[in-house]
Structures are given as C-alpha cells and as structure tokens.
C-alpha cells in the first residue's frame, strides 16, 4: 500500500485556467489508485471550510490542511499544530499596522471582521458560500490559530515578504501562490511534510511508500520528504528542481498521465 498526497491549487485544480474541479480523467485515475488498495490525501494550504464538494468528490482518505497544521482522517482530527500565542499576537499587530484585511484560520473555523468586505467578496466565489465567523473575541480564538491570511496584490508581495522577515523574523513563512491576491502567514514549524509524517505513522507506512504531488514553494518540504516527489509542469522552477519527476501541467491532465505511469 502507498499513500499519495496531492496539493490542490495548481495541482488538482488551476483557477488561472478556470479549472475549478479535478478533471474526469484525474478523478478516474484517483478512483483506480484507490481500487488498487492505495490511500489518497489532500495536502493543501486551505482550511477545511475552503474544500468545496466538487473538490472532495474523489473521496479522499484523509486531509492534510493549513500547510500541514491540521490533519484528519475519517472526519476525526489526528494532529493540530497551533501558532505560538505570542507569535500570533505579533502577526496580528503586523497586519493591523500594514492596514490590510485579514482572516484567522483555525482547525475548523475561519474568523474575520464583518467590515472586511474585500475579504468576504474574495472568498464568496468558487462555491464556498459564506465561510466566515464574524462574532468573536480575538483573545479567545488566537490560542487556536494555525495561520493568518490577507490580500496582497502580486506586485506588492516581494516588499511585504521583506517586511515580514524584518518584523517577524524566521518564525513565520509566507506563501502567495494559491490564488491572485491571497497571501498566507504561518509558523515555520508547520509544513506539509510534518503533517504527512503524522499520516504515515498512523498508517504504519514509511516515507518510501509516500508520493507527493505539487507545484508551489509550500510543497517543497513534502516533495523532498516523500519517497517520490512529483512536480506539475506548471510548477515553479525551484519545485521542479527538487522533484524526482516532472509531469505535464494541470490543463494537460498531468496527474492522470503520471498516475497511469506510476501505478
């Protein structure tokens, strides 16, 4: 038995090319792999509430979410890595000083202020509906926080990334590849590789029996950690360089092709 871990944005789907759900060919291959006795998992920066029914259609055996900060199987939590409370306060202070709207993502809930119209509009599309909780005490939810997310235009991201490094140091990672405008801040202690390790231990599998499929810099750890790391043809160059295999891009059904070859 092998365990396969799939990134979402840029791997299973691609919003830039209006591919909002895994293609029929990819869904068929995922089902075939499961029929062979293997386990399939989502491994995404997304929180639970941003997984649409169409995205979950393949019937995944488990979820590694929030960049590895939350893991569940069979609807039950296996692992949760919360942000250090002092660091969480520092991140909030930084975002407030930046003057940008933001959300606070916990294992099963996402919080933002009702006045954050841009945030609400951005996440209202794609079949998500209203994902936010608006009435909350920040002092009560911050101890549960796993990551924060804000909206930063693409051209401003390098400058903001530099500010994060200057103000928050090496304890915070940034990622903005998942969608136009989105910009995530999460602890460097969190990684998809760490979440995958929890799954492998639970299943009694070794890293040689694990396969990772991704395209962005937040996939680097899992691609390097798993016995076989696969980069999408649309992946960033640094991800392709780190991978064992590069398959065709999302819009050419790259996952379907590589799954036929590997299994």
> pLDDT tens across 14-33, in order?
988 888 899 999 999 999 99
Mean pLDDT (the chain, rounded):
93
Task: Please state the φ and ψ torsions of residue 31, each to the nearest 5 degrees.
Answer: -65, -40
Other beta carbons within 10 angstroms of residue 112's beta carbon come to: 20
Once rounded to an integer, what is the mean pLDDT over residues 31-49?
A: 96
| DSSP per-residue string spanning 71-119 | EEETTEEEEE-PPPHHHHHHHHHHHHHHT--EEEE-SS-EE--TT-HHH
Whether residue 257 is predicted with pLDDT greater than 90 in this model: the reply is yes
- pLDDT value, residue 16: 81
Q: Take residue 190 and report the two structure tokens written for it.
A: 């969190």
> pLDDT tens across 165-192, in order?
999 999 999 887 655 678 999 999 999 9
Once rounded to an integer, what is the mean pLDDT over residues 187-211?
A: 96
- Of the chain, the percentage scoring pLDDT greater than 70 comes to 97
> pLDDT tens across 84-117, in order?
999 999 999 999 999 999 999 999 899 999 999 9
Kindly list the domain boundaries of the chain, sorted by start residue: 3-80+191-262, 85-187
- Contacts made by residues 47-51, CB under 8 angstroms, sequence distance 24+: 47/105, 47/106, 47/107, 47/108, 47/110, 47/146, 48/72, 48/107, 48/108, 49/108, 49/109, 49/110, 49/128, 49/131, 50/110, 50/123, 50/128, 50/131
- pLDDT value, residue 126: 56
- pLDDT value, residue 128: 63
CATH architecture of 3-80+191-262: 3-Layer(aba) Sandwich (3.40)
Of 117, 106, 116, 153, which is closest to residue 161 (Cα–Cα)?
A: 153
- pLDDT value, residue 127: 56
- pLDDT value, residue 129: 67
Which residues pair with residue 212 across a beta bridge? 5, 229
Whether residue 198 is predicted with pLDDT greater than 60 in this model: the reply is yes
Once rounded to an integer, what is the mean pLDDT over residues 55-62?
A: 94
CATH architecture of 85-187: 2-Layer Sandwich (3.30)
- pLDDT value, residue 142: 96
pTM, two decimal places: 0.92
> pLDDT tens across 114-172, in order?
999 988 888 876 556 688 999 999 999 999 999 999 999 888 889 999 999 999 999 99
Angle at 179 between CA 150 and CA 210, to 5 degrees: 105
- Show Cβ contacts of residue 149 under 8 Å, excluding neighbours closer than 6 positions: 102, 103, 105, 182, 183, 184, 185
């Amino acid at each position: 038995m092998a365990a396969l871990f799939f990134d979402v944005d840029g791997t299973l789907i691609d919003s830039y090319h209006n591919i909002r759900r895994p293609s029929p060919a990819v869904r068929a291959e995922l089902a075939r792999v499961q029929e062979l006795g293997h386990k399939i998992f989502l491994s995404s920066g997304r929180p639970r509430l941003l997984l649409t029914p169409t995205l979950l259609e393949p019937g995944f055996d488990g979820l590694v979410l929030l960049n590895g900060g939350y893991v569940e199987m069979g609807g039950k939590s296996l692992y949760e890595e919360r942000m250090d409370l002092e660091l969480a306060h520092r991140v909030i202070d930084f975002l407030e000083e930046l003057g940008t709207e933001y959300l606070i993502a916990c294992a099963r809930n996402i919080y933002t202020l009702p006045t954050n119209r841009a945030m609400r509009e951005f996440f209202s599309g794609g079949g998500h509906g209203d994902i936010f909780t608006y009435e909350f005490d920040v002092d009560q939810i911050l101890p549960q926080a796993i990551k924060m997310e804000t909206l930063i235009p693409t051209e401003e991201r390098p400058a903001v990334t530099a500010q994060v490094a200057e103000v928050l140091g090496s304890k915070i990672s940034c990622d903005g590849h998942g969608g136009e405008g989105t910009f995530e801040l999460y602890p460097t202690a969190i990684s998809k590789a760490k979440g995958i390790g929890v799954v492998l231990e639970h299943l009694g599998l070794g890293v040689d029996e694990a396969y990772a499929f991704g395209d962005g810099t937040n996939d680097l750890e899992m691609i390097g950690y798993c016995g076989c790391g696969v980069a999408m043809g649309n992946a960033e160059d640094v991800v392709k360089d780190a991978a064992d295999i590069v398959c065709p891009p999302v819009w050419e059904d790259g996952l379907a092709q590589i799954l036929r070859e590997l299994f």
